[in-house]
A and B are shown apart, each in its own frame.
Chain A
Amino acid sequence: MKIQILGTGCPKCKALEANTIKAIEDGALDATVEKITDIDQIMDMGVMMTPALAIDGEVLSAGKILNKDQILALVKGGR
């Protein structure tokens, strides 16, 4: 599984990235994290609010700093 963090590098984006790494560790997920910071790539995915989170290319959240439990819920079927 590839979890993508979309954001240009602001504190909110970094917070979401940190929470995602924690979710992967605590949930023992077989997942990699990819940071997407290029605004053109972010816009190409239709995201108008960052930070955003996508799993395997599907955007599941935008404009929110999800916490660890929210990320785990998305991974485990809240999609």
Chain B
Amino acid sequence: MACSCSCGGDCKVTLLYACSGAANTGLLADQVARTLSTREVGGMTCLSGVAANISGFVVSAQEADMNVVIDGCKVGCGARIFKEKGLPFEHAVITDFGVTKGETPITAELIESVSDQIAQRIA
């Protein structure tokens, strides 16, 4: 079982990071990460905390069994942050799921669909 806290248990720790950028793709990345966190696929935590070198976020990323970075678009800001710090991660990019930056409306159905696909990919 995936979880975000290893205290008292031996479950796999998966941490989720969303770029949360300004475009519709950033919104979807954020909503998908929250959906996956609610489903307990992993625990959502702050990409900006890692970027800012706040020690707790960086050490948590170092020690997690899996980090999943969900970027909105091909710019890949989240992936760049993780690469820059030498942190391991799995990468998902929202535009790879048929979403066009600046155009595709973000609906509840789309959030569920992309969440399902990412959950399957990292299972």
Contacts and interface: CB of A to CB of B under 8 A. Distances in A.
A64 interface: yes
Given A62-B60, A64-B63, A48 B55 contact: no
Interface in A29-72: 45-52, 54, 58-64
Nearest to A50: B7
Given A48-B13, A49-B13, A10 B59 contact: no
Interface stretch (B41-49, B70-78, B82-90, B95-103): B41-49
Interface residues of B, number: 21
B54 interface: yes
Given A46-B49, A48-B13, A63 B55 contact: no
| Main DSSP-derived SS at the A contact region | loop
Chain B contact residues: helix, strand, loop or mixed: mixed
B8 to A, nearest CB: 4
Contact of B63 (A12, A45, A46, A49): A49
Interface residues of A, number: 22
Contact of A46 (B7, B43, B45): B45
Contacts of B28: none
A45 B56 contact: yes
Interface of B: 4-8, 13, 15, 43, 45-46, 49, 54-60, 62-64
Rank and list the top 6 A-B pairs by shortest CB-CB distance, nearest first: A46-B56, A46-B57, A10-B8, A59-B56, A48-B60, A59-B55
